[in-house]
Amino acid sequence: MNILICFIAIIILSLFIALFSTYIFRKNAWIIILIEIPMVLSSTLKDIIEIYPSGDIKYQLISYFINFSNKFYLRYLPLFIFTTIFIIYFKGKFKNLNSINKEDIIGRNDFSKYYFLGRWTEKIIDNAECIYTINLGSEIHAKIKGTKTIKINFLNTNPIGNPVEIAYKVNDDAYIRDNVSNSPFIIDNLDKDKEYILKIVVSGNKDEDEVWNKEQGIAFTGIDIDVDGKIEPFTQNKKIGLFYGDSITAGCWLLDRNTPSQGYAAEANYVAKCCETLGCLNVRVAFSAAGVTKGGTGGVPKFIDFIDNMDSITKEKSQFPDFIVINMGTNDNDASMEEFQDELLKCVVRIQDKYSGVTIFLMLPFVNVRKEEIKKVVSMTENTVFIDTSEWNVQCIDGIHPNLEGSKVAGERLASEVLRYYGIEFFK
């Protein structure tokens, strides 16, 4: 009975230590383990001397450690093991709380000067204040003048493997692509007497990036310009489309099918082309392998669970849309017709509650699956429109993901369907 009470007390104490240390030390929570080690060793040595006072060290050690009823096995070792397990579990749960001392923050910026399109949130990562997202296609816009040089700064939140790809441009120039390991991205030889509109798009990441439960998304830390330059507050006054989907909507595998992040191009997929044609903006909520009935890569849950949530601990707070597009179903191969239909209906109803009065376009996936279920959901709901893509002849790089040409065709066809519903005046 005493042993049981001892173990219960150890578990409770370990949990408290793990929670407290993780909250206090954040990324350096392992310091509590380093503190425990000398404490355990010193206490163990004291016990050995007290129980076996003989001066024969070998005898003392053997006698102590073959006795499984001593304090080392009942208290110290379980405490150390349990604390380690709990810290592994809780590592990263509290590291971004706003209680971090502001004097310790480096690279501070006035992010109010930028226009963030999509799901972004303020975080503190590696002691740097940043704006963070996990969604490909998310954008940053800035109005800049009086400078010859622009430096764009990102953190590399996941240095293992191919880093996140960023696409950026000034005014109507072509996009330049680079990855965050090469940040800052430098645009130079500018005319300081001219005004520039900078556009940044999160272009690609890896499926393995743990974006939902860990901080392996995209972290923007600000823009540096010449001393005499200015970044002026900037807003957009255009219609906004909200797009829910999977890797196809996110912009994966447009350029090649072999290199994640580098083979992605969110700035050029069908969503980008559709909104370019319409002259509007887009908010993209799409994840590789995600489905209506199944979760995606990177720890992402199924569709219903990312409607309201940006990640596992953050509520989304993106722009209110003027129209909504859903392109889901490609990854729901294992679901029955009834299961898929019921889950999709739940998602549509939730979106309608969230964005009351906004029309929802439900697309037939480009691989031509779940047609009957999607049409049934449209027939069961108001203010929803079915878009039949079966005759679009979208070229794909692998039979599933549209390539550059296929994305252009799909984007233009989708734009024409949206225009048919709203009319051209809606987007002026």
pTM of the full structure: 0.76
Q: Give the tens place of pLDDT for each residue, 393-422.
A: 999 999 999 999 999 999 999 999 999 999
Q: Which pLDDT belongs to residue 55?
A: 65
Q: Which pLDDT belongs to residue 265?
A: 98
Q: Give the tens place of pLDDT for each residue, 324-380.
A: 999 999 999 999 999 999 999 999 999 999 999 999 999 999 999 999 999 999 999
Q: What is the mean pLDDT of each run of 10 residues along the chain (428 residues)?
A: 57 62 55 67 67 66 66 65 67 44 44 95 91 98 96 91 95 96 95 96 95 95 94 92 98 94 97 98 98 97 98 95 98 98 98 98 98 98 98 96 98 98 96
Rounded Cα distance between 382 and 362, Å, is 12
Q: Which pLDDT belongs to residue 344?
A: 98
**CATH 2.60.120.260 residue spans of the chain:** 104-236
**CATH 3.40.50.1110 residue spans of the chain:** 238-428
Rounded Cα distance between 166 and 154, Å, is 9
Q: What tokens does 296 get?
A: 């995606």
Q: What is the largest CA-CA distance in the chain?
A: 95
Rounded Cα distance between 309 and 325, Å, is 18
Residues 6+ apart with CB under 8 A from 185: 151, 152, 154, 166, 168, 176, 178
Whether the Cβ atoms of residue 79 and residue 13 lie closer than 8 Å to each other: yes
Rounded Cα distance between 384 and 126, Å, is 44
Q: Which pLDDT belongs to residue 108?
A: 43
| Long-range contacts (CB closer than 8 Å, 24 or more residues apart) made by 171-179 | 171/196, 171/197, 175/201, 175/267, 175/268, 177/203, 179/261, 179/262
Sign of the CA dihedral with 377 first, then 402, 118, and 240 last: negative
Residues 6+ apart with CB under 8 A from 205: 136, 164, 165, 211, 217, 218, 260, 261, 264
Rounded Cα distance between 275 and 222, Å, is 26
**Within a 10 A sphere around the Cβ of 327, how many other Cβ atoms?**
24
> Homologous superfamily of 104-236 in CATH?
Galactose-binding domain-like (2.60.120.260)
**DSSP E strand boundaries for 278-359:** 281-286, 309-311, 314-315, 323-327
Q: Which fold has domain 238-428?
A: Rossmann fold (3.40.50)
Q: Which pLDDT belongs to residue 84?
A: 72
